[in-house]
Amino acid sequence: MNPIRPTRRTLASAAGLLAMTLAAPAAAATCEALNDVRLPNTVIKSADVTPAGGFAGMGAVRTPDLPAFCRVVASVSTGPGSDVGVEIWLPLSSWQGVFHGNGNGGFGGVLAAGYGPMTAGLRRGYATAVTDTGTAPATPLEGDALIGQPQKWRDWGHRSTHAMTVTGKAIAEAFYGAPVRRAYYTGCSTGGQEGLIEALYYPRDYDGILVGAPVINRTWGHAAVLANDLAANLHPGRRLSGVKLRLLSNAALKECGGAGSGLVSDSFIGDPKACKFDPAVLQCHDSDLANCLTPGEVMTARAFYAGPTDRKGRPMFYGWLPGSEATGLFDWNFLQSRPNGQPPFVSLFKWVFGRDWDWSKFQVESDMAKVDAELGPIVNDATRGSLRDFRARGGKLIIYHGWADALVPPDQSVAFYDRVAREAGGVDEAQTFARLFMAPGFSHCGGGEGPGVFNAANGGAVPPPSASARHDLFAALTDWVEKGAAPSQVIATRYVENAPAKGVAMQRPLCAYPARAWRRGDGDATDAASFVCSIKRPSGK
């Protein structure tokens, strides 16, 4: 039984009653009247008008073109010990009848993580919302505050986004005196996981869902990060410096750049699954020099590529692909770092083993058996479930993931889509409601050497020239939902020196999986028109 569903029904009923009593908004008093709204299991903490231009304070949002809106902050309880923070922004004019839900990141805990996407939604005339995933006072990188808090684990794992959606829709309908006409969700990383949970378990919440780099197997994703940290830091001389990471990345590019559908001329690996790279080609013969890797550093690199293994060296989860070594904010350097004096995201293990657990003694096989037994049923819902109901009610799902992602293994998204296709009766059937776009050279939710994935809903990216559904994944999603135009490809863009003002350096199509972009003859490698989407190498190439 799902404890949220009764709340959803009662909230919808309450919204209907409120719609009859509250007129369409016209003044600050109308927004402030939401302070008196009574919804089951919900406390409205504040409801105030934010004038055009945004607001100051923690997570300040200030931009001249931001329209005035009603800002509502609420708390929703899914059960004893639950406190799911929700923030909703309601445009004071020109509401399009659309509700836009947004994802969080890491362990959540803060509402400001969604402000960028919310500003983008607000500019469109959408009522837009975010949740802190019910984990405050946790922060995205540390969840020690959740030790001994199983209700918060459940909110983080699978309840909070649905609670945000039900509450946000009810408040929007109360404010505007009209029902939500359409609903969209966008999120990346943990936000990507939240979107998949919505599609799998709450199929009526959203008409269209766009997710990037979703954390599908939560427990093993954290195990991979911890295994990486220990491979680099447990023994002296094993950590790879920035110089060594760049050396490794250049060697991988030299070995794999032209493999499969990739091009030798690219500054990124276009098809990392078509290549096997052994870092031993860089091993030093005499001493630790800047242009080679010590035997210990080679062991670290091999561990990263292999992923967590059992005592016999057999893989137990996905490793990182060639081309992901030195891509930016969340590259291998981050995985070797300890931002809070401990490996990134290690808090999840303390929920099981206790605050004083010695993570340096992590044993993959034995420890993960206990972690999965205790947390798997709570936080790994994206590894289960079905999209049958989401498909049946006409929902559309787009997933994108960078092949150079070094924080969430991209193979997870491919495996998820393959499972969806098997259940649907094949790829052709799956593509009627779900599409996957794999992005060469693209890192975790952004960055990397490859052309960038533009998602106008993220609020931070600069659109390419003539941005449209051909370039923008969110526009592609809305066109699919509202016009029935399914995207077979989108165009990714890289700017000169990553500066849009300096012009476009290259564009490349991202093809709906399992197709890949193949170059047509000797066409200009920087022009998207020089490529064709195909599962196999086109004849005559």
Q: b or e along 220-244 (b: 16 or more beta carbons within 10 Å of the residue's beta carbon)?
A: bbbbbbbbbbbbbbeeeebbbeeeb
Amino acid letter, 330: F
pLDDT, position 1: 33
Strand partners, 434: 397
Mark whether 444 is an active-site residue.
yes
Mark whether 527 is an active-site residue.
no
pLDDT, position 57: 76
Q: State both tokens at 100.
A: 């836009």
Helix or strand (DSSP H, E) at 200: helix 190-201
pLDDT, position 489: 95
pLDDT, position 256: 97
Q: State both tokens at 39.
A: 């919804």
Cα separation of 349 and 369, whole Å?
A: 12
Cα separation of 139 and 145, whole Å?
A: 9
Q: What is the pLDDT along the chain (541 residues), one digit of tens a residue?
A: 333 333 333 333 333 333 323 334 444 448 999 999 999 999 999 999 999 999 887 778 888 889 999 999 999 999 999 999 999 999 999 999 999 999 999 999 999 999 999 999 999 999 999 999 999 999 999 999 999 999 999 999 999 999 999 999 999 999 999 999 999 999 999 999 999 999 999 999 999 999 999 999 999 999 999 999 999 999 999 999 999 999 999 999 999 999 999 999 999 999 999 999 999 999 998 776 889 999 999 999 999 999 999 999 999 999 999 999 999 889 999 999 998 899 999 999 999 999 999 999 999 999 999 999 999 999 999 999 999 999 999 999 999 999 999 999 999 999 999 999 999 999 999 999 999 999 999 999 999 999 988 766 665 455 555 555 688 899 999 999 999 999 999 999 998 888 888 888 999 999 999 999 999 999 999 999 999 999 998 875 5
- Per DSSP, the residues of 249-307 read HHHHHHHHTTSTT--TTSSS-S-GGG----GGGGB-SSS--TTSB-HHHHHHHHHHHH-
Residues 382 and 164: beta-carbon distance below 8 Å: no
Beta pairing, strands 489-495 & 434-439: unpaired
Mark residue 332 as left, alpha or beta (left: phi above 0; alpha: psi -120 to 50; beta: remaining). Answer: alpha
pLDDT, position 502: 87
How far separated are the first and last CA of the chain, in Å rounded? 55
Cα separation of 69 and 93, whole Å?
A: 8
Among the listed residues 75, 77, 160, 189, the single catalytic one is: 189
pLDDT, position 540: 59
- Residue 62's CB is within 10 A of a number of other CB atoms, namely 10
Among the listed residues 100, 158, 222, 444, the single catalytic one is: 444
pLDDT, position 541: 55
Give, in order, the Cα–Cα distances in Å from 160 to each of 78, 94, 170. Answer: 8, 28, 15
Residues 361 and 227: beta-carbon distance below 8 Å: no
Q: State both tokens at 102.
A: 């947004």
pLDDT, position 458: 63
- Residue 203's CB is within 10 A of a number of other CB atoms, namely 20
Sequence-separated (6 or more) residues with CB below 8 Å from residue 506: 451, 493, 494, 525, 526, 527
Give, in order, the Cα–Cα distances in Å from 190 to each of 13, 217, 257, 316, 417. Answer: 30, 11, 30, 22, 18
Spatial CA neighbour of 46 closest among 16, 17, 72: 72
Among the listed residues 271, 367, 405, 411, the single catalytic one is: 405
Mark whether 189 is an active-site residue.
yes
Cα separation of 346 and 143, whole Å?
A: 8
Q: State both tokens at 413.
A: 């998204």
Angle between helices 295-306 and 218-233 (to 10 degrees): 180
Residues 463 and 472: beta-carbon distance below 8 Å: yes
Cα separation of 328 and 449, whole Å?
A: 9
